[in-house]
Structure 1
């Protein structure tokens, strides 16, 4: 029986490009080579899709791109890649199944998933709906609220609420914090937002871009003096922003695998070296610790798992995802934080470690994700065939 060709998609145009390279390296090392042929497909920060046949160890330092581009110049007939269409050297021709290991916009947000749907290529992870809703924090919070899940109080803003008067700004410099700081109109509008935050949320707060992951663009603001800079920082990444009340909390996470029937992974706690689990703490600070299993009561474990399932369903997730929580240190109340449709996948990342906590090996986690992707693909085709026969 011929081995299935698994296309590992890595890189991408988002601010989480480096994280994707780290995750993909771990996945490629661990995947069962007896069952699958690996096709490495890198997406550059400029959005170019490239076939890569070099050493997996070159992914993290970025050397993969130089080699892939050189191979394409030297042997265009072999290394050219046409993403759309059918026939030789198209994505549809080269792979049987896609495993997107892409973090952030243009990869984790339903865009690549939609492309794979159009190409009729089965893939692992959340579908278009689940990926899109999980990626967008504001949309996710609205769906969580409809489900009745407890979450931190928050305010939703648009960058237009404080940048709208600067009509001279071009698309290229619209998020230039220095130029905006000199705009007196912006200062007045930020002052209005400061008053609203003080009135509705209090301090501290977290300012976040709605459509970004890995804590990119997030700032903890302790008092009114830091809010303006934090808003401008978040606006570098998205026009839709979230200001969330800070909770004196523990950070807990669990994993979910499944389409119809769900498997719940273990529960872990993040012990960040920094004041909160920011981008640096997640991927580069060895002083940050992970505690698995988390030291919480059986009652709280059950409550957290119940909330995780409800959140997963509310966002339309399938395949797999990581679900993040906050637990108030004073009241022990649990708050849903967010869902990550393509969580970090390094050997030190929380999601695979949580799955290992329930007895799965790293290769078995990948195998299960592939199985779930095919399960969804066949279920969709069966529905479409039944509809066509009517």
Structure 2
């Protein structure tokens, strides 16, 4: 079976995608699968084979030299990334390998154009089977605001939050700051709505920091969300399956920084993952129940990672 691993992409999580793709390809058994690397540059050009592999090797070298990108220079930097090449087809042409040379695709694109249903829709249009969630679940799962609305509809408890657009922020920033301070207490977290890997996320403890954090998040997305900060444990599980999903053993993340930011996830390697997490039977049952409920609420399929906060003071799942 020929497996196309698609990585890179135009989002702010381009570098993370390269690391993920290397992990996936290292894990595929070469005796069972023929791996076809398919890379997408930051400007949307496609590379297949050696050119894509070269980008992975470059990313590995950059990482070993301590030059892994931080969120602030993520979008425009080219360190360790896929760059346009003379042999690359135009952005309006898909590589023949996408249709003619693979039996199934594994999209390992992170963030916009990768986890938001875009690549999933493209693969369905060209008739290529792919791993992971479909168009709807991908789109909803990346949009934190829509996802929270769907979770609320099925009774999944959540932290308090305030959501707004970049246009609203630019039109009347002081009014929005007042709204956040009325609804939430410090500390709180400011996030771009449609992005992952903690890119553009800030923990804020004052009105001045809040304004700076919103301005940063607005560079990555037209929609922002501010969530209440809590004293919590961070728990995660995998959910696998389609109509009858299974939940994995839970793990607990111990971040190396004040919160699980980009640096704590990808730089230094000092964050810890404890498996299995130390949970009571009641906590474990709640995590498993809400993990399946979240998976089904957005019509997910294949696989998902579902994250939880368990508040230390009350031991309640969120």
What TM-score do the two structures reach when normalised by structure 1? 0.73
Per-residue deviation, 1:285: 2.8
Structure-2 residue corresponding to 1:234: 217
Correspondence for 1:13 among 10, 20, 34: 10
Q: Does 1:137 align with 2:144?
A: yes
Distance 2:127 2:97 in 1: 13
Structure-2 residue corresponding to 1:222: 205
Query: 1:137-216 maps to which residues of 2 (within 5 A)?
Result: 137-164=144-171, 189-216=172-199
Per-residue deviation, 1:190: 2.5
Asked if 2 retains the 8 angstrom alpha-carbon contact of 1:22 and 1:60, the reply is yes
Q: Does 1:28 align with 2:25?
A: yes
Describe the SS at the equivalent of 1:26. Answer: helix
Distance 2:252 2:97 in 1: 43
Per-residue deviation, 1:90: 5.0
Structure 1: 5+ residue stretches without partners: 165-188, 336-390
Distance 1:20 1:195, change over 3 A: same
Correspondence for 1:297 among 256, 277, 280: 280
Distance 2:122 2:170 in 1: 33
What's the CA shift string for 1:265-318, capped at 9, x where partnerless?
111111011110001111113221111111111211111010000000001110
Q: Does 1:47 align with 2:30?
A: no
What's the CA shift string for 1:27-47, capped at 9, x where partnerless?
111101111111110000111
Asked if 2 retains the 8 angstrom alpha-carbon contact of 1:21 and 1:59, the reply is no
| Larger Rg computed on CA atoms | 1
Asked if 1 retains the 8 angstrom alpha-carbon contact of 2:4 and 2:106, the reply is yes
Describe the SS at the equivalent of 2:110. Answer: coil
RMSD: 2.1
Structure-1 residue corresponding to 2:129: 122
Correspondence for 2:264 among 281, 288, 294: 281
Asked if 2 retains the 8 angstrom alpha-carbon contact of 1:259 and 1:319, the reply is yes
Distance 1:230 1:81 in 2: 36
- For this pair of structures, how many residues does the alignment match? 298
Structure 2: 5+ residue stretches without partners: 61-78
Distance 1:5 1:90 in 2: 10
What's the CA shift string for 1:140-177, capped at 9, x where partnerless?
0000000110000111111111213xxxxxxxxxxxxx
Distance 2:42 2:137 in 1: 24
Distance 1:286 1:256, change over 3 A: same
Distance 2:170 2:42 in 1: 27
Query: 1:234-383 maps to which residues of 2 (within 5 A)?
Result: 234-335=217-318
Per-residue deviation, 1:65: 4.2
